[in-house]
Amino acid sequence: MQPQQSAVDVGDEQISHSDLEGFSKIHIDEVIEYVNSGLRSIPPPLDLYRRYLRQRWDVYELDFTQDRIDWAERMTDDELDVFQRVASGFHHGERNVEAELPTFMMGADEEDKVFISSHLEDEARHTVFFDRFFTEAVGLDEGSLMDVLDSSYELRSNAGPGVTGLLSYVSDELAKDPYNPRNRVRYATIYHLFIEGVGALSTMKITPGYCRRRGFLPAYYKGFTATCRDEARHVQYGMGFLQDSIRKAPALAEDVYEMLRTILDMNSANGNQASFEVLGLNTEEVRRFNIVQLTRKLADVGIPLPSDLQEVINRMYPEVTGG
């Protein structure tokens, strides 16, 4: 199987019903757009749960034999370096959100708990996907899931705590008072809105875009594209949760703004910007995509953008983090 070189225009229906093999024919950009298309009318949690049951894929169906050959023989040292830095950011992001999500589930309504259980399983599967990639394609033969995570951590370009460190802090606060609506809105802002809806989405095109253009790493391409489709359910659920919370208590919009100010302060203080040019992606393009995603998400939640935030948003840069 070789990923196709040219873009294939596919509708939401085809993405929605694709099996794992079918993802080799679907362009990653179409799947990223699919995440946003569902936001026009956000489905309730049990509808998203039904969609999960239909879209769930088996991470053990992927065969990394060709990926291992491509990794060892066909990629340049510079490409390997940037690729594994980006993939490592996702590997740790997936594991981090898998570990933190139960705190958000504790104070949720019953319908929401059913959906969040499926979301948690998605994130566990994404963690296994990156574990398989790092052991079977890259060749980190380390043993346990944690051993592989420890080894891939070294590969990250920006190994500081970053936004996932802040997520751990917000999760700890939520664990102390899991029914507190302000804590829940702060959590959904950093996780569902920012990490999944902005950070992961804008950097998701980098590695699969490279695989597609070069015809390399077919199992990685299929697994990552299927991962991106899973994100559509997570982001749609999160935007629905925020919309609903603010409709019931409009003052909670201030918690969304405060959380975003903290995240964007961290983002601008961190001067170690990643460059994706070696994988054929213009970093400025990714940066602009980042800004569009954040502006869109706030519009989806239905709250205006204060002018101080707009100014900081215009200066933000891409941060690789999985969700």
- Nearest distance, CB of residue 196 and Fe ion, angstroms: 5
41: tokens are 């009318």
- Nearest distance, CB of residue 55 and Fe ion, angstroms: 13
Which residues are CB-contacts of 214 (< 8 A; sequence separation ≥ 6)?
74
Nearest to 291 by CA among 311, 270, 314: 314
**Binders of Fe ion among 258-317, rule CB under 5 A?**
none
Q: Quick one: 192 exposed, middle or buried, by C-beta within 10 A (0-12, 13-18, 19+)?
A: buried
What's the rounded Cα separation, in Å, for the pair 175 and 170? 9
- Nearest distance, CB of residue 17 and Fe ion, angstroms: 20
126 binds Fe ion (CB under 5 A): yes
- Nearest distance, CB of residue 147 and Fe ion, angstroms: 21
- Nearest distance, CB of residue 108 and Fe ion, angstroms: 16
As a whole number of Å, the end-to-end CA separation of the chain is: 27
**Binders of Fe ion among 212-231, rule CB under 5 A?**
231
What's the rounded Cα separation, in Å, for the pair 316 and 199? 11
By beta-carbon proximity to Fe ion, the closer residue of 67 and 94 is 94
Tell me which of 100, 234, 267, 320 binds Fe ion, using CB under 5 A: 234
By beta-carbon proximity to Fe ion, the closer residue of 67 and 123 is 123
Inter-CA distances, 158 with 187, 267, 279, Å: 23, 12, 17
- Nearest distance, CB of residue 192 and Fe ion, angstroms: 8
Is residue 123 within 8 Å of residue 164, measured between CB atoms? no
By beta-carbon proximity to Fe ion, the closer residue of 94 and 136 is 94
**Binders of Fe ion among 56-115, rule CB under 5 A?**
94
Classified as helix, coil or strand, 323 is: coil
What's the rounded Cα separation, in Å, for the pair 36 and 25? 20
Spell out, one character per residue from 175 to 204, where the chain touches Fe ion: x when CB under 5 A holds, - when not.
Answer: ---------------------x--------
By beta-carbon proximity to Fe ion, the closer residue of 123 and 136 is 123
238: tokens are 């999160």
Total chain residues near Fe ion (CB under 5 A): 7
- Nearest distance, CB of residue 195 and Fe ion, angstroms: 8
Contact residues: Fe ion, CB under 5 A? 94, 123, 126, 196, 231, 234, 323
